Amino acid sequence: MLRKRQPVWTVTVLTIPQREAFLQRLFASIRELRWRRTWELHVVYNWETDEEPYAVEQRILKLGRRLPLTVHFNTRNPTIGGGRAHQLAVCKSPLICFLDDDLTLHGDLFEVIEERLRDMPVGIVGTPSLVEDSDRLFKPRRSTPHVDAHDMRFMSVQGMLVAGYRRLFQDIGGFNPRRAFWGEWTEMNLRMWRHGFATGYAMDGSYLRHWHGAPESPTRNKPGRQDHVLWGLLCTALEYDAIALRPDTERFWELVEQRYLAYSFGDSVGPKELLHSVLRLVPRLAVEWPHIAEFRETARNHPFQFAPFHSITERDVAEVLAYAEPRIAKYRRAVWNRVRAASR
């Protein structure tokens, strides 16, 4: 018989030493939440440090006092993608929630997420975020194509809070090892949809506040971010057959030109700067090419062939939900069997 102390949820946070003030604020908001289930909190310290691990652990445990907190260290591959893989690897509970460390949490957050996972055959549930202490919506962006149905906004869930079934994340392959500092959630969402599991936001009952200014952001202030973004775009195009300009890849190339190159290189990016970045990445591309080619062959057999940044339609949602319904049962059983056992 399962013991009551075995958690249903793991809440996992990736952090680095420069962000401990943000981590303290996140912990304070977690203490205010109501919990219906047993849960645990993991912090993955994603940094190569000369500091003694016990000293780091004690400092973080002090910040997280009165929380069911465990500190893990990822020093082997402390990229964002490597940190995400470590978060998933050390999780043992059936449900997992990935949190960014520059957030605060508000409302009946985990109750809302559980309801969506129980009622809808979805793979990922996210929560809306507001800009700091304002009422301005940060994500999901209103301009991003989406479908509102079944009390959800179906679209890609772009980080900050991503919740779902641990085993499902593992079964579709875990985190792509070629997403180092940018694009790991974009690629994970795409792979979820292509495997037949929808992703989207629960738009009511809870929200996040995203506190800007955290250092080492891969999209705002991390040194070398242009190479990280370009690397993610190159891998996406190659892994998902989006090299040629076709009707299904048109949106991918529009976003590359209009959004991603501009915010990583600046509005005045020129061909010389872009070429320099590509040439810096060529040796890495040569090393990764066999793995990219192998991934591309696997991707060609995915049940759904959505292109990167595909604009989800109502028909897409209906078809994917119907496909997922009989396949989601084993993941749900892992959750609700544990809940029933804990209540005995």
Q: Letter for the amino acid at 315? A: R
- Between 53 and 223, the more confident residue is 53
Concatenated DSSP letters for 120-172? S-EEEEE--EEETTSS-EEES-TTS--EEETTEEES---SSEEEEEHHHHHHT
Classify domain 9-216+322-333 at the CATH topology level.
Answer: Spore Coat Polysaccharide Biosynthesis Protein SpsA; Chain A (3.90.550)
pLDDT value for 163: 98
The span from the CA of 131 to the CA of 124, in Å, is 22
* pTM of the predicted structure, to 2 decimals: 0.93
How does pLDDT run across 169-219, given as a tens digit for each residue?
A: 999 999 999 999 999 999 999 999 999 999 999 999 999 999 988 776 655
Q: What share of the chain is helix, strand, coil (3-state, %, to 5)?
A: 45, 15, 40
Neighbour-count burial for 201-211, b at 16+ CB within 10 Å, e otherwise? bbbeebbbbbb
Count Cβ atoms below 10 Å from residue 20 Cβ, excluding itself: 14
pLDDT value for 2: 41
CATH 3.90.550.10 in the chain, residues?
9-216+322-333
The dihedrals phi and psi of 151, each to the nearest 5 degrees, come to 65, 25
How does pLDDT run across 102-124, given as a tens digit for each residue?
A: 999 999 999 999 999 999 999 99
| β-bridge mates for residue 261, sequence order | none
